[in-house]
Structure 1
Amino acid sequence: MRVYLPCTLPSLARVAGAGEVGPAPLTGYAVTPALVEWYVSGDTEELEYVALTDAARASLRMLAADRADGVEVAARRVVVAAEVPDDVVAAGPDLEERSRVRVPVVVRMNQIAAVHVDDLGAVPDVEAAIAAVFAADAGDDDARFVVDGVEDHELMWFATQEIPDLLT
């Protein structure tokens, strides 16, 4: 099963150094039965895009949390796409994020298929979304508009061999 794991650039550096995404359990996003039922008419590619977008939103929350803790982190959403055995992944009952899953094991580097990262051109909109994401989660419609706007930026695809280049 393709699982999308939200990340940040500093977290990606730790993944590269450790050779795995962890510690477990991990929160990820995938095509779940609840997502398929909710989306009704989408094909697998469309459903995976929804899961990727949900993971990118979670990455945005990670960036905002890091900033709130005083951590300097680049305003670029990061999502790690990994192949995880279906029988390991557990879908949650979260109706708000129908694609949310729990991965009770670490994900090794050889399971990572790709990394998705914002282009530098997205940074101003990501900055604005970082400032607005918690208000958006609390129901502020203006903040939600700002956060939704960052989704106009497509995440770029990188092979695992390109991770060192992303981190320099």
Structure 2
Amino acid sequence: MRVYLPCTLPALAVAVEAGGLGPAPLTGYAVTPALIEWYASGDTEELEYVALTEAARASLRMLAADRADGVEAAPRRVVIAAEVPDGAITAGADLEERARVRVGEAVPLTTVAAVHVDDTDAADDIEAAIAALPAADEGDDDAQFTVDGAEAHELMWYATQEIPDLLRP
């Protein structure tokens, strides 16, 4: 099953050095039965886009957490698309995040199909979204609008052999 794993550039560098993502369990996003039922009119490509978008939202939160912990992280959301055995995935029943899954084993880099990353042109909007997250979580509609503005940027697709280029300063 194709799973979209939220990440950051520093975490991607760690995964490359380690040869994979882990330890398990990992939170990912995929085309789940709940997502299919909720988004009944969508085809597989549309459903995968929804899962990718959910992972990008989680990546934004990871960036905010990294920054809060003092980690220098470029303002770029990162989502890793990997093929994970169906038996390693447990779909939740979260009505807010119907695409969320739990991956019960580490994900080797050999199973990564692609990496999706914000273009550098998105940096200002990503920075603004990170700054607005706390207020958005408190119910501030203007802050939520700013956070949602990050989604106006499409993530760029990178082949696995391009990962070293993404990690160069």
Partner residue in 2 for 1:31: 31
Cα displacement (A) at 1:134: 3.2
Letter in 2 for 1:51: A
Partner residue in 1 for 2:9: 9
Partner residue in 1 for 2:100: 100
Letter in 1 for 2:57: R
Cα displacement (A) at 1:94: 1.1
Structure 2: unaligned runs, 5 residues or longer: none
Cα displacement (A) at 1:72: 1.5
Letter in 2 for 1:74: A
**Whole-angstrom distance in 1 between the partners of 2:151 and 2:35:** 19
Equivalent residue pairs, number: 168
Partner residue in 1 for 2:70: 70
> Over aligned residue pairs, what C-alpha RMSD do you find?
0.9
Partner-residue secondary structure (3-state), 1:116: strand
**Whole-angstrom distance in 1 between the partners of 2:72 and 2:30:** 29
Cα displacement (A) at 1:83: 0.3
**Whole-angstrom distance in 1 between the partners of 2:73 and 2:94:** 29
CA contact (8 A) 1:61 1:134 kept: no
Partner residue in 2 for 1:142: 142
Cα displacement (A) at 1:92: 0.9
Partner-residue secondary structure (3-state), 1:90: strand
Task: Show CA shifts across 1:42-97 (max 9, x none).
Answer: 00000000000000000000000111122221100000000011122100121111
TM-score w.r.t. length of structure 2: 0.97
**Whole-angstrom distance in 2 between the partners of 1:31 and 1:136:** 27
**Whole-angstrom distance in 2 between the partners of 1:59 and 1:157:** 15
Partner-residue secondary structure (3-state), 1:115: strand
Partner residue in 1 for 2:112: 112
Letter in 1 for 2:73: V
**Whole-angstrom distance in 2 between the partners of 1:122 and 1:35:** 28
Structure 1: unaligned runs, 5 residues or longer: none
**Whole-angstrom distance in 2 between the partners of 1:99 and 1:149:** 21
Cα displacement (A) at 1:14: 0.6
Cα displacement (A) at 1:29: 0.3
**Whole-angstrom distance in 2 between the partners of 1:138 and 1:20:** 35
